[in-house]
Structure 1
């Protein structure tokens, strides 16, 4: 029988119910208005007919792919924000119809005039991840989108020397300093650090567990980190060992408006400016020309640079790519090779002192 609209007792929402081409459904429209609900009913009925005739690829839309992607991958709040923007633009678009033209339109709508790298981060990367997720389920073909010219950027791995690291650390606000030490000692990403819980930290044995860390093919896993003395000392100086380890200056978790880590990144930018790293003031204005917002944008010393720094230091001290792969939880030694030629072995004593390993540093020196 064709689909029809029904209402449950005590509910203002309309439900779609019926059977089309052998498929029986009963689902909520999420709509209380009869006219709008009727439009959704007709659309759903047409989708089921197309699916029966042409297969499931003909009817799966971007909204369904987003729902499945969010449920399976549980992305960070920052990634979720990017996905929500894309969903607002492409929600009802069929996956088979999302081509380069739709990518170009999304870039123009979400980040017009942005740098190529920003276009990739805000649109191409999250969209590709969602469509790859859908392709694994045979809802569409794997995506192939052209990246804007210059998106690859300069082929350079930025890392900090021990002197630069100390300059950054002493320039940071007191509440940010333990986080910087922890990242430089473990190679943890900012998203992993900001969600670290005290229950996953063992200061007596110098270990911490990072939950749901980034891995290949959308698979997330836990990573056990050994904490050098400097990291243990930095964590011991934090008061109130409950819930999230790292918090804002007023003791609140890094969440809420602006996305996970927005306040941490603001504090990071301030520390970089004070430390003398390159950057520029970015100003947005209202239509009347008055200043709407003003912030410091760091050129190349982002929080992720500390992961590069830790990897570079790790190889300079241990000279062992396999150990670097295992300790840093990379999927292959190949991904670690770029760090092998960056820091000279003679820098090892200074690196060990940054990690609080004074005795070892003296032995090497």
Structure 2
């Protein structure tokens, strides 16, 4: 350990945890600099010294900006990330990273509950924040601590099971503009998420093979799904009138890219005019899954079409088709029939040897 003078300021130079550390004492007084260095030596010996220079120099807004620029921009649904970051920065402001603590994060959760948002929304925002801090810790070396890891996530209620009836669908479509009708029908027939539909390009549509490809799904994976005859006809008609300066399949009436908030706003108005209550755009995805299962489509196919990572996510729809379980109890009828035949033949069950 030693002191080096640079531009009339004394700097400390020492080895900490196997690496060379150089820190300014922020003083030109050598005796004061020596006292500061002695204090650091004692902290190192007692294990109380923690090297956090970059954490003190970086702020929360810098963290969020870099997260959006280098991470979220490569994900689908970028606008959703921007909205969550806006909510976070509106509450936290621009403190140094070391001042973002579990206590301030819990205060944010309480504030969001007061705003009337759901536990699922709070968890998505905390997950974004946790990911940003992980990047700051592991890759950017801005901080050594992730305070979000010490805050519990909220219990979510994922039991919502709302889908459109045929009558509700008729009223909703009648209350929708033509461009919105196209989006709604496409969502019901494919089960695609809102962002996946809005980002669908003509390059991903193969009318010969009757398929649509999502190049970047919510899970970051490419997914190809079959198209119904209804959708193929609709897309053929749409392709004949498309503008060649746009690669997007679904655009506004002015042939501009559709914005998710504006889409949902128009969707809510259509719900109101069509008198469809307690329904969200994402419930069109539930409608697609529910109708497939009710028609007898096995859960594996439903999982593949919806793009669920785990079959457990698809199991929530199993109760819509109890007939698929009937063969499981049919063995009891088969066993009773076998016993009846034995009795009619005068054979006792213990006289029969069953082998695998």
Q: TM-score, normalised by structure 1?
A: 0.63
Matched, 1:308 2:313: no
1:101 to 96, 104, 117: 104
Task: Report if the CA contact (8 A) 1:132-1:143 is conserved.
Answer: no
Q: Within 5 A, what are the aligned runs for 1:92-131?
A: 92-94=95-97, 97-105=100-108, 108=111, 113-117=114-118, 121=121, 123-131=122-130
Task: Report if the CA contact (8 A) 1:244-1:253 is conserved.
Answer: yes
Q: State the 1:250 CA deviation.
A: 2.4
The farther-off stretch of 301-310 and 335-344 is 335-344
Matched, 1:156 2:160: yes
Q: In proportion to residue count, which structure has more strand? A: 1
Inter-CA distance 267–132: structure 2 relative to 1 (3 Å threshold): same
Aligned twin of 2:301: 323
Inter-CA distance 207–57: structure 2 relative to 1 (3 Å threshold): farther
Gaps of 5+ in 1: 5-17, 25-48, 255-259, 279-298, 347-365
- Give the length in aligned residue pairs: 273
Aligned twin of 1:206: 210
Task: Report if the CA contact (8 A) 2:168-2:276 is conserved.
Answer: no
Aligned twin of 1:86: 88
Question: What is the CA–CA distance in structure 1 between the aligned matches of 2:210 and 2:52, rounded to whole Å?
Answer: 52
Question: What is the CA–CA distance in structure 1 between the aligned matches of 2:217 and 2:162, rounded to whole Å?
Answer: 22
Inter-CA distance 262–58: structure 2 relative to 1 (3 Å threshold): same
Could you list the per-position Cα deviations for residues 65-99 of structure 1 after superposition, in whole angstroms to 9, with x for gaps in the alignment? 43453212325213212213423534433267331
Q: State the 1:56 CA deviation.
A: 5.7
Task: Report if the CA contact (8 A) 2:292-2:302 is conserved.
Answer: yes
Inter-CA distance 120–154: structure 2 relative to 1 (3 Å threshold): closer
Question: What is the CA–CA distance in structure 2 between the aligned matches of 1:56 and 1:308, rounded to whole Å?
Answer: 48
Q: Within 5 A, what are the aligned runs for 1:13-32?
A: 22=20
1:69 to 47, 67, 70: 67
Gaps of 5+ in 2: 15-19, 23-39, 44-48, 139-143, 325-356
Question: What is the CA–CA distance in structure 1 between the aligned matches of 2:234 and 2:207, rounded to whole Å?
Answer: 10
Question: What is the CA–CA distance in structure 1 between the aligned matches of 2:98 and 2:272, rounded to whole Å?
Answer: 44
The farther-off stretch of 269-278 and 164-173 is 164-173
Matched, 1:143 2:149: yes
Which is greater in Rg? Answer: 2
Inter-CA distance 120–316: structure 2 relative to 1 (3 Å threshold): closer
> The residue matched to 1:335 in structure 2 has which SS?
helix
Inter-CA distance 184–98: structure 2 relative to 1 (3 Å threshold): same
